[in-house]
Amino acid sequence: MFVDRVKIHIKGGNGGNGMVSFYRAKYITHGGPDGGDGGRGGDVIFVGDSSMNTLMDFRYKRSFKAENGQDGGKLNCFGKSGNDVVIKVPVGTVIREANSNQIMADITKHGEQKIIIKGGKGGKGNQHFATATRQAPRYAERGQTAKEYDVILELKLIADVGLIGFPNVGKSTILSMVTNANPKIANYHFTTLAPNLGVVQSRIGEDFVLADIPGLVEGASEGVGLGHEFLRHVERTKVLIHVVDAAALEGDDPVENFKKINQELMEYNPELMKRPQVIAANKTDIPDAEKNVIRLKQAYEKEGYQVFAISAATNKGLDEMLEAVAKILKEYPEDIIFEQEYEEYQEVEVEVDKEPFTIEVYDDNYYVVTGTGVEKMIGYTNIDTEKGFAFFQRYLREKGIIEALEQKGIKEGDTVKIYGLEFDYYK
């Protein structure tokens, strides 16, 4: 069964907590802090696998979680880091964040790896918080909570050239004649229920991959027919072979059909209309087809389209058309890759925090802020970016943390610690 879109849940491993511990031995009753650090949580990693051609496996397992890091131990013992979870996907898989539908990664090569979620950092043990004036710190850092997402896996087939057109115009027959593919062919609509791929051996350039894109009808972009299921596979193709029935065996006008399919492409994704197209006027072995070939040339050659009179059944004109397509491909060398859109810091814009926070004061000048919402904010925000840092500052004020710190008596130069962050307070 061909499955090209699924929704799954992924979560990184949480970092282990740091340990609060003090060295104890015979004759040593007040040893210094020796709490170890927590281990790092495991990452969530997607990797391309060319042996897969469908997302079928994800229909049975929809949740993936990396291993948590272990807590730190006594005697400065570090916690063990959690194992990564590696998720294999077909080459050509786009990963989208489900809520925003924005692209997180695009896997286009075998063996290509993308870390979607990094595991949480392990918390520091109390040994790190000892100073000349604070020699017995009785607190440690909690491990960082890793992110978790619902993501959509969307397979967009890797093909250089796509065969498009209404059902029953001969796309599958063309594929079978020019490649070693063996698609199911019958004289009724929607014989092809999944995209089929084949390799065309070009005589003038490199071989290229040809895909039969099924299911396109008028209204496909709105879910009519099967087009809404397979239009996404057109997005990878560099060149489109637009097949029309020049013999008009079903009474349709091939000139109008060409216009209708292109309208569906435009409504689905306007970028598709920038792709080079050639028109394959098929079934010209049937009498009276020639007049429609002439009409197609009159209507569209002035717009820059090449029109080829072909017959997939008799192999007429196929070589000439494929040669023209190969020439176009040589001038269109770059692969079509979907750029990352999703930015991690965006997620913190959700309402994380109506939850309470607490502030503990140590040694009169050291303030530790904790709370579920605060922890999530730190975990979701990339402080190293300008936007992330600006959000961090705004969050502290809007949440009331700055005001609460001032009520606790914080002064300029005092230290504030919020999970993995430690900074001096200045207005």
Q: Let me know whether 68 and 22 are in one domain.
A: yes
* Cβ 226 vs Cβ 190: under 8 Å: yes
Q: Let me know whether 227 and 148 are in one domain.
A: no
Q: Let me know whether 167 and 151 are in one domain.
A: no
Q: Let me know whether 207 and 317 are in one domain.
A: yes
Q: What is the pLDDT of residue 103?
A: 92
Question: What CATH number is associated with residue 16?
Answer: 2.70.210.12
Per-residue tens of pLDDT for the chain, all 427 residues: 456 789 999 999 999 999 989 988 887 777 889 999 999 999 999 999 999 988 988 988 999 999 999 999 999 999 999 999 999 999 999 999 999 999 999 999 999 999 999 999 998 898 887 777 667 887 788 888 999 999 999 988 778 899 998 888 888 889 988 887 554 444 444 444 567 778 888 766 678 889 888 767 666 555 545 555 667 778 888 999 999 999 988 778 999 999 999 998 898 889 889 999 999 999 999 988 999 999 999 999 999 999 999 999 899 999 999 999 999 988 876 777 777 877 664 444 444 444 578 898 887 788 999 887 787 777 656 666 666 677 788 888 888 898 899 998 998 888 888 877 888 887 7
Q: What is the pLDDT of residue 349?
A: 41
Q: Let me know whether 263 and 368 are in one domain.
A: no
Domain assignment present for residue 182? The answer is: yes
Q: Which residues of 374-408 are buried (b: 16+ CB within 10 A; e: fewer)?
A: bbbbbbbbeeeeeebeebbeebbeebebbebbeee
Which structural domain, as residue segments, surrounds residue 97? Answer: 1-155
Give me the torsion for CA of 101, 210, 166, 170, rounded to 10°. -160
Whole-structure pTM over 0.85, yes or no? no
Q: Let me know whether 138 and 181 are in one domain.
A: no
Q: What is the pLDDT of residue 280?
A: 95
**Residue closest to 236 by CA, chosen among 91, 110, 99:** 91
Q: Based on the structure, what is the number of domains in the chain?
A: 3
Domain assignment present for residue 347? The answer is: no
Q: Let me know whether 144 and 170 are in one domain.
A: no
Q: Let me know whether 311 and 170 are in one domain.
A: yes
**Residue closest to 237 by CA, chosen among 204, 193, 269, 282:** 269
Q: Which 3-state string (H, E, C) describes the chain?
A: CCCCEEEEEEECCCCCCCCCCECCECCECCCCECCCCCCCCCCEEEEEECCCCCCHHHHCCCEEECCCCCCCCCCCCCCCCCCCEEEEEECCEEEEECCCCCEEEEECCCCCEEEEECCCCCCCCHHHHCCCCCCCCCCCCCCCCCCEEEEEEEECCCCCEEEECCCCCCHHHHHHHHCCCCCCCCCCCCCCCCCEEEEECCCCCCCEEEEECCCCCCCHHHCCCCHHHHHHHHHHCCEEEEEEECCCCCCCCHHHHHHHHHHHHHHHCHHHHHCCEEEEEECCCCCCHHHHHHHHHHHHHHHCCEEEECECCCCECHHHHHHHHHHHHHCCCCCCCCCCCCCHHHHHHCCCCCCCCEEEEECCCEEEEECHHHHHHHHHCCCCCHHHHHHHHHHHHHHCHHHHHHHCCCCCCCEEEECCEEEECCC
Q: In the listed set 155, 188, 219, which residue is the last one of a domain according to the structure?
A: 155
Q: How many CB atoms lie within 10 A of CB 116?
A: 19
* Cβ 297 vs Cβ 280: under 8 Å: no
Q: What is the pLDDT of residue 60?
A: 86
Question: What CATH number is associated with residue 427?
Answer: 3.30.300.350
Q: Let me know whether 370 and 418 are in one domain.
A: yes
